[in-house]
Amino acid sequence: MEHWSSQKEMLLYWYVLEINLIKLTIIYFCILKNFIIQTTMCYSLLNEESFLEFVYLLDPRYVPPDRKTIRHRIEVEYEISFLKVKEVLKNVSVNLTCDIWTSLLLDPYLGITAHYVDANWIYRSHILDVSLFPHPHDNQSIVVALKEVILCSITSFNNKISFFVGNEKI
């Protein structure tokens, strides 16, 4: 048992221990959040018994957040990031590209990306939208989807957009 020279010393020890545990919890939360984003894992992972056992083995003191908490945090960070992207895109000429693909569940998706060269001549790109894209997948449907993203999501381009829609068949 520790020998404390004073009650203040003991309280300071426990205070520092608690602060370190709070810091560790924040760090773990950020690592977990980034893991879910970067691996596109489902939020339900947080409810899986095997995942909780794994986390417990790594650090028994850590209790992962529930799926609602982490989902909310990811959505808030997305909104903040998207506002930053919108602000950047106000001041540059943008080229848009789109890609259509089918998921493993056979759902069609359309992804729209903005590309530009910044003031330091560095190529940049940002994904603007990924959404379900029902048939038909013709040029007119793609243009409608592009307009929707431009008008609804990114209203601040100041007419600095150039794009080409083509549909090559191989």
Exposure string over 52-70, b if 16+ CB within 10 A, otherwise e = eeebeeeeeeeebbeeeeb
For residue 23, the SS3 value is helix
Q: Is the pLDDT score of 143 beyond 50?
A: yes
- pLDDT tens digits, one per residue of 58-109: 888 888 888 888 889 888 888 888 888 888 888 888 888 888 888 888 888 8
Q: For residues 146 and 131, is the Cβ–Cβ distance under 8 A?
A: no
Which regions of the chain carry the CATH code 3.10.450? 91-162
Would you say residue 11 has pLDDT above 70? Answer: no
Class of domain 91-162: alpha beta
Q: What is the pLDDT of residues 127-139, one digit of tens each?
A: 888 888 888 878 7
In whole angstroms, what is the distance from residue 46 CA to residue 70 CA? 9
